[in-house]
Amino acid sequence: MFKTMKRIIKWTGEYKKRLYIGFLWSFLQTLFTAFPIMGAAYFMDFMIKDSRGEIQMQPVMAWYALLFMVVAVLGRFLFSYLRATFQESIAYEKTAEERIQIGNILKRVSLGFFDENNTGEIAGAVTTDLSVYEMYAMKMTDVIIGAYIHVAAMILCLLFFCWQAALIALAGVALSAFFLHLVSRSSSRNSVVHQKAQNSLVASVIEFVRGIAVVKAYGQEGVSVKGIKDAFREHQKINIKIELDYVWRNGLHQISLKLASVGIVLVTAVLAMQGEMELPVFLMMAVFSFVLFSQVEQVQNGAHTMQLIETAMNKLEAIKNAEFIDTGAGNAAPENYDIAFSDVDFSYGRNRVLHNVSFQIPQGSATAIVGPSGSGKTTICSLLARFYDVDSGSITVGGTDVREFTCDSLLGNISMVFQNVYLFRDTIRNNICFGKPDAAEEEMIEAAKKARCHDFISDLPQGYDTMIGEGGGTLSGGEKQRISIARAILKDAPIVILDEATASVDPENEHLIQAAISELARGKTLITIAHRIATIENADQILVVDRGRIVQCGRHQELAAQKGIYRNFVETRERAEGWRITGNK
Ligand code: ADP
Ligand code: MG
């Protein structure tokens, strides 16, 4: 728990100063809580002395006492307010920065990182885990550190009147801190065991449910229920153990504080009886002994929250330690846009998907990649965009290895349009401007016109300000595709990659999309993964991929004349497209 606290403080980074000043306010706030008690004791002392006739009390003193109380209460509110303003916003500001930072990190890691760590977990880290932080980090700092500051300030006040009482209080706090340490140590140890038991419980329930048909069919309930029963029993045993472990440690923590309170009352009572302490001071000590530990007593309630924070922190750290794919790269611009793959091998994990892939694409030419599904076409494009790094061989743009560019400087030169369009939950305008955020309105509309989407956008009641649902819910597939092409046209990158951009739209939309694509590809170095004969026929070069190898390469005429995969492909396609034309009549 205290270790987690230390990590939180470290996490606040440049806000640390504000955090510490907040602690100072917190300290002053406690002093102002203690002042009324001390003031009351003094006042009582005067009253007693007055009643004994030792001194003569003036009525004005009562006014002073009242004023003192008012000042103390106001001071307490003031410092509590100051503490909140200094500390509480830290978490919000810091998590906002953190979200942006993580976004920047994720932009620069290999896509393999997302395959290895499931995307749900990463999304969870950025949303839920950071929210846990946002909500609890500062609150817990106040609960835990604040509690110790509170008790320290109180002990200082005690010290002012009676060093013995201060010493007892100190010993009580130290002892309780020790037992709290035991609580958090055992709870972090137990949480591992608990997680394991939980997992095995879930697994056996799933197994039971999956196998239920078999169980019923063979009348074997007895056997299969045993697995579940065992898992439940184990789970129950562990929970009881965790509870017992907690109870005695937590009990000792509470008892240390209670004993210290009792000790203070006893010692001061003895001193008072021996006449070494005035009666009002003794009474004040008794009051102090009640409020002294009130906050430290609550500290263990935060143990669970601290555990949550700790887990969140570990996950975030794992993301932050992810390896950048482009460390050591420069922000260079390529000299030209000739593309060359030489002897590229690539595997996803241990699954080798590309073997010795070599080809060249001259600047300004159009290349089509064809091949059966799963042969590695998309992978070739992903490697060019450096979503992954090659295992061996090299990929160059303008003679420079893609590994020498930063992700931003490489991707600045590439526009990609995919079969599955992803549009952001934002306005159409912002979706188009995504590739060029500073584009002027006319520029944006020009791009939309070229992409053949200006007309349907203008027909929408809110035009370019229409919000798009998650993934583009409210638009048709073809419309979404054209918006994504407008985005690419506006970006105006010299290299254009189209991955089955027209594969899943109806013929009418396909015609419009083809027109949009022609606009996009004008004068660009174009790589198309396509099935349509019309698209492939006009390419300057066709690469035929089969099981991760380039098996044929050339123009349509040459390849169609040869026996092989390409000719088979063309024949099947012609039959399919021919069938569709007649089918549509
Ligand atoms: P294509 O685009 O030609 O259909 P891909 O390049 O998408 O083929 O896939 C080539 C092979 O790599 C396939 O066997 C596919 O299962 C595998 N693959 C693709 N993406 C991944 C990934 N992210 N992780 C693991 N394997 C993948
Ligand atoms: Mg593909």
Query: Could you state, in order of their start, the residue ranges of all structural domains in the chain?
Result: 2-10+87-320, 330-413+532-578
How high is the pLDDT of residue 275?
A: 87
Residue 219 pLDDT greater than 80, yes or no: no
Q: How confident is the model at residue 581 (pLDDT cuts 50, 70, 90)?
A: very low
Determine the 3-state secondary structure of 419 from DSSP: coil
Ligand 1 contact via 377 beta carbon (within 6 Å)? yes
Ligand 1: nearest atom to the Cα of 377: 3
Ligand 1 contact via 348 beta carbon (within 6 Å)? yes
Separation of CA 379 and ligand 2 centre (Å): 7
CA–CA dist 230, 347 (Å, integer): 42
How high is the pLDDT of residue 437?
A: 85
Ligand 1 contact via 429 beta carbon (within 6 Å)? no
How high is the pLDDT of residue 309?
A: 83
Q: Which helix (H) or strand (E) holds 353?
A: strand 351-361
Q: How many CA atoms are closer than 13 Å to the CA of 563, on its beta-carbon side?
A: 0
Contact between 363 and 317 under an 8 Å Cβ cutoff? The reply is no
Considering the chain, what percentage of its residues have pLDDT values greater than 70? 94
Domain 330-413+532-578: assigned CATH number: 3.40.50.300
Residue 585 pLDDT greater than 50, yes or no: no
Separation of CA 291 and ligand 2 centre (Å): 69
Mind listing the pLDDT tens digit for each residue in 284-328?
A: 888 888 888 888 888 887 777 887 788 788 888 888 888 787 776
How high is the pLDDT of residue 117?
A: 66
Ligand 1: nearest atom to the Cα of 371: 3
Ligand 1 contact via 163 beta carbon (within 6 Å)? no
| Structure tokens given for 307 | 């555990």
Max mean pLDDT range (18-27, 108-117, 221-230, 504-513):
18-27
Ligand 1: nearest atom to the Cα of 373: 4
| Structure tokens given for 435 | 């590739």
How high is the pLDDT of residue 195?
A: 75
| Structure tokens given for 541 | 């070069």
Nearest CA to ligand 1 atom 14: 374
Q: Could you say which of 1.20.1560.10, 3.40.30.10, 3.40.50.620, 1.10.287.3510 is the CATH number of the domain covering 2-10+87-320?
A: 1.20.1560.10
Mean pLDDT of the region 88-102: 86
Q: How confident is the model at residue 258 (pLDDT cuts 50, 70, 90)?
A: very high
Ligand 1: nearest atom to the Cα of 112: 23
Ligand 1 contact via 450 beta carbon (within 6 Å)? no
Contact between 279 and 272 under an 8 Å Cβ cutoff? The reply is yes
Mean pLDDT of the region 258-277: 91
Separation of CA 354 and ligand 2 centre (Å): 13
Q: How confident is the model at residue 215 (pLDDT cuts 50, 70, 90)?
A: low
Ligand 1 contact via 503 beta carbon (within 6 Å)? no
Residue 101 pLDDT greater than 90, yes or no: no
Q: Which of 541, 561, 537, 560 is nearest to 550 (CA)?
A: 541
pTM greater than 0.85: no
How high is the pLDDT of residue 383?
A: 93
Mind listing the pLDDT tens digit for each residue in 358-393?
A: 999 999 999 999 999 999 999 999 999 888 899 999
Ligand 1 contact via 374 beta carbon (within 6 Å)? yes
Separation of CA 510 and ligand 1 centre (Å): 25
Residue 130 pLDDT greater than 50, yes or no: yes
Q: Give the length of the chain.
A: 585
Least confident interval from 269-273, 433-437, 443-447:
433-437
Ligand 1: nearest atom to the Cα of 499: 2
Q: Alpha-carbon dihedral of residues 425, 431, 436, 437, nearest 10 degrees?
A: -50
From 115, 351, 369, give the residue whose CB has the most ligand 1 atoms within 8 Å, as the site to mutate: 351
Mind listing the pLDDT tens digit for each residue in 538-564?
A: 899 999 999 999 999 999 999 988 888
In sequence order, the β-bridge partners of residue 183 are: none
Residue 58 pLDDT greater than 90, yes or no: no
Ligand 1: nearest atom to the Cα of 548: 10
Ligand 1: nearest atom to the Cα of 111: 23
From 379, 391, 504, give the residue whose CB has the most ligand 1 atoms within 8 Å, as the site to mutate: 379
Contact between 387 and 395 under an 8 Å Cβ cutoff? The reply is no
Ligand nearest to the CA of 418: 2
Contact between 87 and 15 under an 8 Å Cβ cutoff? The reply is no
Separation of CA 536 and ligand 1 centre (Å): 22
Separation of CA 227 and ligand 1 centre (Å): 39
| Structure tokens given for 360 | 């060249």
Q: Which amino acid is at 469?
A: G
Nearest CA to ligand 1 atom 6: 376
